[in-house]
Structure 1
Amino acid sequence: MLKVNAVPDVPRWARIAAVGAALTNVPSALWRVAIAVGVPVGLAQSEYDQMGAPGFGSVVLVGLSLVSEVFAFLALGLVQSWGETWPRWVPYLRGRRVPVLLGTGVAGLGAVATSVFGALFVYTSLNADMEGTAWGMWLLNVAYAPLLLWGPLLGAVTVHYYRRRMAACPALA
């Protein structure tokens, strides 16, 4: 399991939920990268053509995977010190406290957005008319299913972050 150097007053469940939220994107990112490099994942050729992969669409697929991983790993900031104090490498802000409402607001919006995305994915996958093979559709669903947990896990850690930070010093908001 991913080691998390959490701040001392973070309970084990919050560390596990933050790591879970951070890792929910890995299967779907690997699935997109596989398509980008031309690994057959059971989709019909028309679906590869629609995505432009392999080709320029591969750049988009890899870029989407990288961006989603960066956003997912930001969940770790809710249980680590860099979610409370800006890291050294952030110009003008380094060493200053991260405002509680900024961290909570961004993470809360992320939790809502990822929950909506998860629900839309389920709706779309149940109503999709895709031409891929049965194992390809199974693989797609297995790769994207963990995203259903992203929003709820992020939401739980966000609530904990807010309560913990506000209990430590109510003037931080």
Structure 2
Amino acid sequence: MGLSLEQKKAMVQEVSAVAQQALTAVSAEYRGLSAGEMDQLRALARERGVYLRVVKNTLARRAVAGTDFECLTDTLHGPLLLAFSQEDPGAAARLVRDFAKEHSALAARSVAFGGTAYSAEHLERLASLPTREEALSRLMATMRAPVQKLATTMNEVPGKLVRTVAAVRDAKQGSPA
């Protein structure tokens, strides 16, 4: 059963609103996935904060028009799903990559980031972006390293003095006076 004109307009508006706010997008071909596997993929997407939608290509082209993801229009053909990362730039790419490892029927077609479309080969690069928490922890470790090194160096000066005094004492106690 086909969608009515009103349903199509609502779907275009919904996808367009998500695309306006999204950081990255991944288009993937889902031909060969069963309904149960699609349900698993949708559940994973909800858990990871990824907006996932199967949209007809003409509707998808209209939805991404005027957004940073308009660059995907050339790759929108065949049975595709669109995955948009809302908070974490690599979330959609990680979702598609991880699900495709277990289900070979899911194949990434293209990724978009910053108004530029990239081929599916760039999926791994986008998926390897750190999450917000990972990026913050790396930043904090980098900021802490110089302070920690300074504290270690400052602590070494009195420690060396104590070892030198102890060595002098041992030398005086061990030598006949």
Which protein has the bigger strand share?
A: 2
The structure with the largest alpha-carbon Rg is 2
TM-score bin, normalised by smaller chain: under 0.3
Output the TM-score relative to the length of structure 1.
0.26
Which protein has the bigger helix share?
A: 1
Output the TM-score relative to the length of structure 2.
0.26
